[in-house]
Chain A
Amino acid sequence: MFSTTGSYSVVARSILNGALLAFEEVNATSKNIELEPVVVNPSGDLARYRSLSLELLGSGIRQVVGCYTSSSRKEVIPCFEKFDGLLWYPSHYEGFESSDNVIYTGAAPNQHVLPLVDYLASRVGSRAFCIGSNYIWAWENNRIFREALIARGGTVLAERYLSMGDTEVDQVIAAIIEQRPDFVFNNLIGTSAYAFFRAFRAACRARGIDQAAEIPVASCTLSEPELPEIGPDAIDGHLSSSVYFSSLNSPENAAFINAYAQSFPDGPASSADAESSYIAVKLLAAALSQAGSDDARRVRAAVADQRLRAPQGEVRIDRQTFHAWLTPRIGRSSVNGQFEVLLESREPIAPDPYLVQSSPRFASAMRSPLLKVV
């Protein structure tokens, strides 16, 4: 269930492809199970996500790989809880959730935004300008980012939000250029993000600013299929925090990239989210095979502690949170439409969706004057 049309369709088509590739491979190699994918497209419409979930669950389907945006996931979770189905959610997200009816194969915030804060604060600068699409992903990811950056002595100069799909980015860009942050933290998704990258590069160029060097843009979402959407004039120099880049050098990734390219020669290119849905389907197949049933509880029990040699490295499902152990990386986009890996974790790290291990006990205080006249 992916929105293969609509404002974030490029990523969604890549995610769907990742899942379809895994279905193909499972059916070609598995001896005891055969999976038949049913593909539906909610077109980015929240109400459609809900009605399609009810339709799928009502038809007897109990395992759904689906959703990219957090708002769509939150919209459908009650359906999965009511009919006891399992949603395999294959995207990085903002955490603070752990439904018993969801298996989360994408990165939790300690696997994407916190490593990015470490990188930016230690190598780029301390003054951030935060932007995002106006929904829960950007609000919460910006909050986590702000708290972590402030804890490291940094400051957030401003936060600006655009409606999903909005491409009127000039005002935001004027504000950024006026404030001259050390970097922009971007949580815009889909067409809004592409318009921003293009216009920001052009606006900087017009003022003689080397954008990539002087005001780099860092995201937790930017992936390979989106780079051609930005276009050749602004494709390079963008930072991305992700558990997967297609430039990774490993036999598993080479096999994945080749198989993906053969199955989907017309694109869009593979991405972290495509790898995540590929992992989701592989784990689903392993769990179904072990459980001998598609009953949600039995499959859930069977997926706990499942391990997989994935394109990004070893992945396993944490039995407490039903999120995945993944390997964080920081990449920078190049003119060839790939990411150059700048840093990577030596090993997979445990998911911490509630940031229990990695956030301060108290939220950072609201700004108030230290001294006031009485």
Chain B
Amino acid sequence: MSSRLLQNFKGGRAIVVTRRGGWESTLETTLAKLGVSTEYPEIIDGRAQIDVTSLQADRDILFVDGDLEGAVAIEVHPASRLPPVPVIGLVGVEAPSRLKALVNLGATSFLRKPVHGGAVYTSLFMGINQFLLRAEMSERLQDLEERRRGRRAVIRAVVLLMQHGGLDEEGAYSQLRRESMRARQNMELYCEEFLSKRAKPPDTSGRTTGIMLQGGNKQAI
């Protein structure tokens, strides 16, 4: 895996959800040195006024003050447990319940309040890069999951070629692999299409089982 680390945060926008008390000026001036602008959304009835649909993962970073309970309502992705943009927790009261709330929001890094200028770069670097890394790992996991489901098609295609093409197991596998590379498809997808072109009556019972397994496994993960 060759994930690339984001190291220049120029053009970024920090959305800082906190009750302003003066301590945040260190955060703002340090972020400015790093090329990141700062906005403070209004908090009305305990809820930060953030337009979640306008958030952009390659620009925005959400700083959430853990001392404000339930100020931010964002959905984390069910599989990756990632929020739509990187979240950095601002920790005041170091209580497990508050830290847990920040972890549940998908925070990938933390900063202690009052913020010390020398800690901001590290926190931003970790927060954004852990977010990117987790997003990439989750994508890979999803890809592997799909390919794992497709392995059945590979087995069936190999068996089919052995039965009708007069090939041994190794020969059948090599042929499918060669053909899938030529078609620029992964082997699982190629085999599924290979089978569907040849298949007469669809094997509905097999498909149903597959779908159920998929759901069941996801829950378990």
Interface residues of chain A, those whose CB is within 8 Å of chain B, are: 77, 81, 96-100, 320-321, 353-357, 359-366, 368
A356 touches B34 (CB 8 A): yes
A356 touches B9 (CB 8 A): yes
**Contact flags B99-125 to A (C-beta < 8 A → 1, else 0):** 000000000000000000110010000
For the residues of A in contact with B, the DSSP-based class is loop
What is the CA–CA distance of A356 and B35 in the complex, to the nearest angstrom? 6
B35 touches A98 (CB 8 A): no
B2 touches A96 (CB 8 A): no
What is the CB-to-nearest-CB distance from A158 to chain B, in angstroms, rounded to a whole number?
21
A366 touches B33 (CB 8 A): no
**What are 22 contact pairs spanning A and B, CB under 8 A?**
A81-B118, A97-B118, A98-B117, A100-B26, A320-B29, A321-B33, A354-B33, A354-B35, A355-B8, A356-B8, A356-B33, A356-B35, A357-B10, A360-B8, A361-B8, A361-B10, A362-B4, A362-B7, A362-B8, A363-B4, A366-B2, A368-B2
What is the CA–CA distance of A96 and B125 in the complex, to the nearest angstrom? 12
Nearest-neighbor residue (CB-CB) of A354 within chain B: B34
What is the CA–CA distance of A98 and B32 in the complex, to the nearest angstrom? 12
Q: Which of B7, B9, B34 contacts A363 (CB 8 A)?
A: B7
What is the CA–CA distance of A355 and B34 in the complex, to the nearest angstrom? 9
Q: Is B18 an interface residue (CB 8 A)?
A: no
A320 touches B121 (CB 8 A): no
Nearest-neighbor residue (CB-CB) of A100 within chain B: B117
**Given the interface contacts A98-B33, A365-B2, does A359 sit within 8 Å of B118 by beta carbon?**
no
Task: Name 20 extra pairs, CB < 8 A, besides A320-B33, A355-B8.
Answer: A77-B118, A96-B121, A98-B30, A98-B33, A353-B33, A354-B8, A354-B34, A354-B121, A356-B8, A356-B10, A356-B33, A356-B34, A357-B35, A359-B8, A362-B4, A362-B8, A363-B4, A363-B5, A365-B2, A368-B2
* Residues from chain B with Cβ under 8 Å of A359 in the complex: 7-8
A99 touches B118 (CB 8 A): yes
What is the CA–CA distance of A365 and B7 in the complex, to the nearest angstrom? 12
Q: Is B73 an interface residue (CB 8 A)?
A: no
B6 touches A361 (CB 8 A): yes
1-44 of chain B: CB within 8 A of chain A: 2, 4-10, 26, 29-30, 32-35
Nearest-neighbor residue (CB-CB) of B7 within chain A: A363
* Residues from chain A with Cβ under 8 Å of B118 in the complex: 77, 81, 97, 99
What is the CB-to-nearest-CB distance from A148 to chain B, in angstroms, rounded to a whole number?
12
What is the CB-to-nearest-CB distance from A70 to chain B, in angstroms, rounded to a whole number?
14
* Residues from chain A with Cβ under 8 Å of B29 in the complex: 320
- How many B residues have CB within 8 A of the partner chain? 18
Q: Which of B2, B5, B117 contacts A99 (CB 8 A)?
A: B117
* Residues from chain A with Cβ under 8 Å of B32 in the complex: 320
What is the CB-to-nearest-CB distance from B151 to chain A, in angstroms, rounded to a whole number?
14
Interface residues of chain B, those whose CB is within 8 Å of chain A, are: 2, 4-10, 26, 29-30, 32-35, 117-118, 121
What is the CB-to-nearest-CB distance from B120 to chain A, in angstroms, rounded to a whole number?
9
Ranked nearest first, the 6 interchain pairs of A and B with the lowest CB-CB distance are A356-B35, A362-B4, A363-B5, A368-B2, A356-B10, A363-B7
What is the CB-to-nearest-CB distance from B135 to chain A, in angstroms, rounded to a whole number?
14
What is the CB-to-nearest-CB distance from B70 to chain A, in angstroms, rounded to a whole number?
34
A365 touches B4 (CB 8 A): yes
What is the CA–CA distance of A361 and B33 in the complex, to the nearest angstrom? 15
What is the CA–CA distance of A360 and B7 in the complex, to the nearest angstrom? 8
* Residues from chain B with Cβ under 8 Å of A354 in the complex: 8, 33-35, 121
**Given the interface contacts A320-B33, A321-B33, does A362 sit within 8 Å of B10 by beta carbon?**
no
What is the CA–CA distance of A354 and B30 in the complex, to the nearest angstrom? 11
Q: Which of B5, B26, B33, B34 contacts A362 (CB 8 A)?
A: B5
What is the CA–CA distance of A330 and B9 in the complex, to the nearest angstrom? 29
* Residues from chain B with Cβ under 8 Å of A96 in the complex: 121
* Residues from chain B with Cβ under 8 Å of A360 in the complex: 8
What is the CA–CA distance of A360 and B6 in the complex, to the nearest angstrom? 9
* Residues from chain B with Cβ under 8 Å of A362 in the complex: 4-8
What is the CA–CA distance of A90 and B29 in the complex, to the nearest angstrom? 23
What is the CA–CA distance of A81 and B119 in the complex, to the nearest angstrom? 13
What is the CB-to-nearest-CB distance from A197 to chain B, in angstroms, rounded to a whole number?
33
What is the CA–CA distance of A77 and B7 in the complex, to the nearest angstrom? 24
* Residues from chain B with Cβ under 8 Å of A355 in the complex: 8
* Residues from chain A with Cβ under 8 Å of B8 in the complex: 354-356, 359-362
* Residues from chain B with Cβ under 8 Å of A357 in the complex: 10, 35
What is the CB-to-nearest-CB distance from A252 to chain B, in angstroms, rounded to a whole number?
30
* Residues from chain B with Cβ under 8 Å of A363 in the complex: 4-7
Nearest-neighbor residue (CB-CB) of A323 within chain B: B33
Most A C-beta atoms less than 10 A away, residue of B26, B32, B118 = B118
* Residues from chain A with Cβ under 8 Å of B5 in the complex: 362-363
* Residues from chain A with Cβ under 8 Å of B2 in the complex: 365-366, 368
What is the CA–CA distance of A97 and B35 in the complex, to the nearest angstrom? 14
* Residues from chain A with Cβ under 8 Å of B117 in the complex: 98-100
* Residues from chain B with Cβ under 8 Å of A365 in the complex: 2, 4
What is the CA–CA distance of A113 and B201 in the complex, to the nearest angstrom? 69
What is the CA–CA distance of A363 and B9 in the complex, to the nearest angstrom? 12
